[in-house]
Amino acid sequence: MFATFTAPSFGAVHAHRTGKNGAILPCRPRRDHPICEHGRPEGCGARHDRDDPQVGQPLCASCYDYRGAVLRNAHAGEPWRRFTQALLAALARLLGIRRTHLRAALRLSYAKVAEYQTRGLVHFHAVIRLDGPDGPTAPPPGWATVPLLDEAIRHAAA
Ligand SMILES: [Zn+2]
Ligand SMILES: [Zn+2]
């Protein structure tokens, strides 16, 4: 499986958005034109090009949770570590078997790449692989299917 793990939102940022036909869409259109507690608009009707320097910047720097965003980046490895633990547990739970039995029957391996999004947060692209107990030279058991792995990844990531 190839999966992308995106950080949560720490506040609204300007975005380059495109429609199905490739046309650039308004950034964050809001019909009711709300204003934040700092007197700045919570919406943005501009159509930002991909290289517009505003893209990825908060709509309001005072509303944006910079502390949360910085801490998230600094500790990005920890949710990943917990994910890999949770994935084995999720697989075992979905199959109704013990983790020790699962470990004896297959091997999970990962390759991940960290990438900065325009908003400055790190996200991960990961290849998650199921093999037999001896690694890549051994086929996984027949019941270790891609749909099962997909479901387990979603559970563990949540
Ligand atoms: Zn905008
Ligand atoms: Zn604000």
Domain hosting residue 79, numbered range: 74-157
CA–centroid distance, residue 117 to ligand 2 (Å): 22
Specify if 28 maps to a domain. Answer: no
Measured in degrees and rounded to the nearest 5, phi and psi for residue 93 equal -65, -45
Tell me how far apart the alpha carbons of residues 37 and 34 are, in angstroms, rounded to a whole number: 10
19: in domain = no
In a domain, 16, yes or no: no
User: The pTM is what?
Assistant: 0.79
Residues 6+ apart with CB under 8 A from 132: 105, 106, 107, 138, 139, 140, 141
Residue 11 falls within a domain, yes or no?
A: no
Q: Is residue 4 part of a domain?
A: no
pLDDT of residue 149: 95
In a domain, 96, yes or no: yes
Ligand number with the minimum distance to the CA of 60: 2
Our count of domains for the chain comes to: 1
- Indicate if the alpha-carbon torsion angle 29, 31, 36, 38 is positive or negative: positive
> What whole-number distance in Å separates Cα of residue 83 and Cα of residue 90?
10
What's the CA-to-centroid distance between 56 and ligand 2, angstroms? 16
Tens of each residue's pLDDT in the chain, 158 residues: 999 999 999 999 999 999 999 899 999 999 999 999 999 999 999 999 999 999 999 999 999 999 999 999 999 999 999 999 999 999 999 999 999 999 999 999 999 999 999 999 999 999 999 999 998 899 999 999 999 999 999 999 99
Q: Is residue 97 part of a domain?
A: yes
